[in-house]
Amino acid sequence: MPYITLRDGAQFYYKDWNPQGSTATVVFSHGWPLSSDAWEKQMFFLADHGIRVVAHDRRGHGRSEQTWERNDVDNWADDLSELIEKLDLKDIVLVGHSTGGCEIARYTGRHGTSRVAKMVFIASAVPRFAQAPDNPDGVPVPTIDFFRSSMLQDRAKFFIEVPTGPFFGFNRPGAKVSQGLIDSWFAVGIQGSLKAVYETTRSWENDYTEELKALDIPALVIQGDDDQIVPVKVGAYAAIKLLKKGTLKIYPGGAHAIMDTEPEGINQDLLSFIQS
């Protein structure tokens, strides 16, 4: 399996599907508490259309090494930078879902956009996820604390409740429930270290406003308006106001895991944006 060794010696797993004669390169960053496997529908579709696709397992997640330290967004950004530089990727399209949006925003804040042509934020926790006096529509910090305490008390139980309910929107009346998606989410999520998935929640309390305001490249913002994890008001609707070259796409009734619940639409959105 492909790994790179990071600056602290940690082993960092990635996938690199590179069709012969590929015309573009897309780099994916996954959400909490998953891995690169979360992107398999998009990666297969784009690679089948002649596009190189790269995705990594964030440190402490999936098949990457479970380091005790450096489970924070600044180090994630630096890890991503090392991967991009070691593979010598250029003119890439960066795509982040949920927490992955925090990672790619912080990457550009710390490393610039010299290797990035475009960005895509899907149901991303940017610019500001946590509630504050000047961000009243955000998620209350006690709710984030509940995520932390639930993981410490009974992570296995919590990692069944999240995909069964709000993550895929399966708790909505009339929802078409996929037990396979629930089981897959649990299987991938439970692979991550408790330390890493716990500390991931710290990234949700950061402010990524300046990173988004500084972006001067095209950015596509996609979200469902029934996202029960990231409120659309503090996600897509807030992000698009900050981006100089942003395009907004809202999926009516769309859930947080819109890549899985609306894969055909998301895949086509990505392909069209990449080729534009």
pLDDT tens digits, residue range 117-132?
A: 999 999 999 999 999 9
Strand ranges inside 57-151, DSSP E: 92-97, 116-122
In 3D space, the residue among 188, 184, 185, 198 whose CA is nearest the CA of residue 155 turns out to be 198
Bridge partners of 4, per DSSP, are 12
Q: Does position 161 have pLDDT exceeding 70, yes or no?
A: yes
Q: Specify whether the backbone of 8 is left (phi greater than 0), alpha (psi in -120 to 50) or beta.
A: alpha
260 within 8 A of 231, measured Cβ to Cβ: no
Per-residue confidence (pLDDT) for residue 195, from 0 to 100: 98
Task: Indicate the pLDDT class of residue 191, thresholds 50, 70 and 90.
Answer: very high
Alpha-carbon span 174 to 237, nearest angstrom: 27
Per-residue confidence (pLDDT) for residue 1, from 0 to 100: 64
Over residues 108-123, mean pLDDT: 98
Which H or E element spans position 197? helix 194-200
| Cis upstream peptide for 2 (omega within 30°) | no
What is the tens place of the pLDDT at every residue in 12-24?
A: 999 999 999 999 9
Per-residue confidence (pLDDT) for residue 229, from 0 to 100: 98
Q: Does position 261 have pLDDT exceeding 70, yes or no?
A: yes
Per 3-state DSSP, the chain is made up of helix, strand and coil in percentages (nearest 5) of 40, 20, 40
Task: Indicate the pLDDT class of residue 177, thresholds 50, 70 and 90.
Answer: very high
Alpha-carbon span 94 to 105, nearest angstrom: 9
Over residues 77-95, mean pLDDT: 98
Strand-pair category, 52-56 with 219-224: unpaired
Q: Read off the pTM.
A: 0.98
| Residues 6+ positions from 43 with CB-CB distance below 8 Å | 15, 17, 28, 53, 55
Max alpha carbon distance in the chain (Å)? 52
Which residues are tagged catalytic? Answer: 98, 227, 256
Map out the domains of the chain with their CATH numbers: 3-275 (3.40.50.1820)
What is the tens place of the pLDDT at every residue in 48-58?
A: 999 999 999 99
Per-residue confidence (pLDDT) for residue 264, from 0 to 100: 98
